[in-house]
Amino acid sequence: MNLDLDGRRVLITGGSKGIGLACAKAFRAEGALVAIASRSDANLAAARAVLGEAITVAADFADAAAARAAVDRVEAALGPIDILVTSAGAARRTPPDELTPEAWRAAMDAKYFTSINAIDPVVKLMAARGRGVIVNIIGNGGKVASPIHLPGGAANAALMLATAGLANAYAPKGVRIVGINPGLTQTTRVAEGMRAEAAQRGITEAEALQRSIERIPLGRLAEAEEIAAVVVFAASPRASYLTGTIITMDGASSPVVV
């Protein structure tokens, strides 16, 4: 299927590894012009080795001013951003008895504000132009509470609401906004989660992973490329009536109607 993405300008935050990097590859394969952002120069260098020609920007999107400056740099280099994919940030897994108010705040900074700080300037630029798509990669922890992921889940839930609300507000101005909720996905972030799960339950990381897989009806973790395929479709003109919704990709682990 031709997704009509040739020449579209795409910014992916958190694009140097994991789902973000898989999205960058998928957009490139469709002929899009891609810029990726990350806090880490080393991760950006590794991503350039994989992607080849791509604009890279080092910025911490938890800082609103740094995020705005990164958006400005991308538009100066690439032109007006047609598609924004937010994939930056992940909250630290913390057992409930170790939680503090600071941990809750850190989770919001790590996940919610890394997205909001990118969305805020970009959605306004898109609205002024009368076109644009934003796809937020959020996480199923915002729907299903996990004892070791409560602050991160709360940040995800807040981002889900922001996604739906902003989609409603900006639809009349030609901007679509969609959320993707991956379940457990084969990335380096899974290893961190398994360590926290193992510590919480007093088991090994391998046992924690096996138990997690057993709870997934499809019987395996998602691949980053599978998430990216849905992101690219959602951002394409083929999905032109898709907005204000959250797409769950958890292998049927949460069999609920929402």
Which pLDDT score is estimated for 114?
97
Residue 202 within a domain: yes
Residue 253 lies in a domain: no
1 located within any domain: no
Residue with tokens 């100066």: 76
Range of the structural domain that residue 100 is part of: 9-245
Is 199 exposed, middle or buried, given 0-12, 13-18 or 19+ CB atoms closer than 10 A? middle
- 4-18 per-position pLDDT tens digit: 999 999 999 999 999
Residues 6+ apart with CB under 8 A from 74: 11, 35, 37, 55, 57, 81
The pTM is what?
0.94
The Cα–Cα gap between 58 and 13 comes to: 10
Of 52-66, 81-95, 182-196, 244-258, which gets the smallest average pLDDT?
182-196
What domain count does the chain have?
Answer: 1
Residue 258 lies in a domain: no
Label residue 245 exposed, middle or buried (CB < 10 Å: 0-12, 13-18, 19+).
middle
Mean pLDDT, all residues of the chain: 93
Please tell me the predicted confidence (pLDDT) of residue 254.
Answer: 84
Alpha carbons 239 and 201: distance in angstroms, whole number: 42
In a domain, 257, yes or no: no
The verdict on residue 241 lying in a domain is: yes
CATH number at residue 228: 3.40.50.720
Inside any domain, residue 2: no
Residue 252 belongs to some domain of the structure: no
